Structure 1
């Protein structure tokens, strides 16, 4: 099947990534040059096992310390500065960076993908700011002069290509551009598959079992077989491997893959099933609340459990389709308990994740003649959400959050999962 690129939208999209954003912001706040300072940002400087959230380029280059390392792995060296994360500060600077982008394009042409990454549709700006290359350099210069921050910019014919260009080329060169014409020579040779945005470890293993080891092999695989194996995801894998993405700016790149999820790396190893279930209930509460916030219900519940490295890692991700779409906390929790009972082998747990997918509008819920109290449970969830919205996340907590192993009370004091 040959792809007719002429039938797909061709825009000029920037994907802008702030290099080592947290570490750079922290360095600038201390009056240091991010490109010269050896600085690490960690979740909590008082905990030796705290994760390194960001590191300046010199720290990565000279000491091999990068995101994901632990505090105890940082060498004792007078040149190295270690600081706590200050998420409120980073968010404040991120807002100011968006204001800078707004000087060049309208707000509706900006999509903030994360605290340190944004998409810009620069179509129609050539007469104002010159070519895409000239505008990219102008933005890079402005960011450095105003904030002392550096960035990389991937330019593409759509959101996907700009993101892939950023990750696979622009982060090394500063600015790069990928068009539909570049797909066969730049995207198809990519291997391992995890270098492709949207392909994780488990999916890569499944593709390997199908004999797919490069993006080019994926792009030329049978579309029918991919759809039969992966459903709608197979369709997206095929078209993404061919550089096709019709998402509007601000929509998920994986359009149609709407879900509500929560993942958590636990502060310590959990080997007590009771404590694991306590955290799981808290997470189900949060995921269900996210679905209720958008007045959605989901029929597929997914549970992920990651085992401790002390037990050689491993774990499982399994899903269960429930009879009726739901956003009721205890129904989501009940599905997770079934999955836990079936697949958990008793190993020490360090990671948990819960998601609700296969979603529908909340008003599509069918009344069940055998569950007269279901509407009341649904209304109770919305009432609890309203109290939390008005008085704070800790205004209403389940009793498990006050027990040994509960994490919600502490996490609700954080911003972006870290100290404010």
Structure 2
């Protein structure tokens, strides 16, 4: 692969280690490195998910992110906290403001509440080399907020992210170049260890005889494109460390952007009736997000995850419809059809709905068999009411049934307590 002409900037990807746990430790005057701490989504539910843990909680008690509350042993040293999302977001903004002391604001791309990309171009005259600047930012965050961090650096956002996930999260700091790709990235297996490859894609690639990232990089590009379309093209070039995204743009790994909403349920759902209520509420949220962006989509995706009592597993199915839509009813009925066709009575714990294959809402074709314009107009009216008076100003009757989740989520940020 010829890397001449490829992006080659000093990009760092910084991740705040155990961010939620570090924040509550600071709030309560605890040492994140000496106290076993767990942040649990909801104390009222034994099956509530663990959102973050301190290093000692992970090492001594074997509790990790995504464990359940009932798995946490009763021990006098363990400290449990519920999330304070408003405080976490405030801390994230404060840390971003600190980083802006070293680089211009436009050189920072906040990727998530605890992770950011930073372009360190031009820092040499003020703070030393990009590597020195990155380490100085790490020291400043630790000194001011007692929040440890890990930094991956690379010539583009993808390599910086890979250096972070595959190297720096163990060592604290790692810098990769294009020349490091064959040595550091290609041996990675299973494939799902690489950012951007999920379990389902891993299985598809394994079926083609591709077991490592190096195998993907040396696969036949035409065959990958034939089987996976644009995704195959992106997988191939990502395996070579090539990413043409500009700072602030998403690192696209699955074709076009999508609008999605998932929910880890607070208890097992056993009946089709209860599950259909959540499907409707998630379809409503996906449709609302699409309308907010003035987009519509032709492909509806449904993911169902089974309970641990079922041994895990689940299914993920998609269906393309005749006309692009952002109408709740159309998204819901498509999800319901996919659910009925693939569900066999298992206990459900996780549901995900997304809309892809996007187009501008202004170009949506009208259906002569349905009054689509009135449904679209109604959706926008409901959105405006919710925007003005709150997300629960208008709820469907089914949201008030036992299976509904939206009423409970309305007083939360990101699904967690404010």
TM norm structure 2: 0.98
Residue 121 of structure 2 is aligned to residue 113 of structure 1:
no
Mapped to 2, the partners of 1:176 and 1:275 lie a distance apart of 47
Mapped to 2, the partners of 1:277 and 1:45 lie a distance apart of 26
2:417 counterpart SS class: coil
Q: What is the deviation of 1:117?
A: 0.4
- Asked if 2 retains the 8 angstrom alpha-carbon contact of 1:284 and 1:333, the reply is yes
Aligned residue number for residue 350 of structure 1:
349
Aligned residue number for residue 163 of structure 1:
161
Residue 187 of structure 2 is aligned to residue 189 of structure 1:
yes
1:6 counterpart SS class: coil
Correspondence 1:11-30 to 2 at 5 A: 11-30=9-28
Q: What is the deviation of 1:266?
A: 1.0
Mapped to 1, the partners of 2:367 and 2:23 lie a distance apart of 53
Mapped to 2, the partners of 1:72 and 1:318 lie a distance apart of 32
- Asked if 2 retains the 8 angstrom alpha-carbon contact of 1:136 and 1:175, the reply is no
Aligned residue number for residue 38 of structure 1:
36
Aligned residue number for residue 249 of structure 2:
251
Correspondence 1:324-339 to 2 at 5 A: 324-339=323-338
2:413 counterpart SS class: coil
Aligned residue number for residue 224 of structure 1:
222
Mapped to 2, the partners of 1:21 and 1:313 lie a distance apart of 28
Correspondence 1:362-401 to 2 at 5 A: 362-371=361-370, 373-401=371-399
Runs of 4+ residues deviating >4 angstroms: none
- Asked if 2 retains the 8 angstrom alpha-carbon contact of 1:162 and 1:178, the reply is yes
Correspondence 1:402-413 to 2 at 5 A: 402-413=400-411
Provide the alpha-carbon RMSD of the alignment: 1.0
Q: What is the deviation of 1:33?
A: 1.2
Aligned residue number for residue 142 of structure 1:
140
Mapped to 1, the partners of 2:126 and 2:69 lie a distance apart of 47
Aligned residue number for residue 240 of structure 1:
238
- Asked if 2 retains the 8 angstrom alpha-carbon contact of 1:305 and 1:315, the reply is yes
Correspondence 1:160-309 to 2 at 5 A: 160-254=158-252, 256-309=255-308
Q: What is the deviation of 1:367?
A: 2.3
1:186 counterpart SS class: helix
Structure 1: state its 5+ residue gaps.
Answer: none
2:383 counterpart SS class: helix
Superposed CA deviations along residues 255-303 of structure 1, whole A, max 9, x for unmatched, are 6430000111111111111111111000000000000010000000011
2:42 counterpart SS class: coil
* Deviation larger for 322-331 or 398-407: 398-407
1:5 counterpart SS class: coil
Residue 93 of structure 2 is aligned to residue 63 of structure 1:
no
Name the count of aligned residue pairs.
417
Aligned residue number for residue 150 of structure 2:
152
Aligned residue number for residue 74 of structure 1:
72
* Deviation larger for 247-256 or 215-224: 247-256
Superposed CA deviations along residues 54-95 of structure 1, whole A, max 9, x for unmatched, are 101111111111111112222222211111111111011000
Structure 2: state its 5+ residue gaps.
Answer: none
Superposed CA deviations along residues 191-212 of structure 1, whole A, max 9, x for unmatched, are 1111100111111111100000
Mapped to 2, the partners of 1:32 and 1:370 lie a distance apart of 63
1:366 counterpart SS class: coil
Mapped to 1, the partners of 2:145 and 2:3 lie a distance apart of 39
Mapped to 2, the partners of 1:313 and 1:18 lie a distance apart of 30
* Deviation larger for 249-258 or 265-274: 249-258
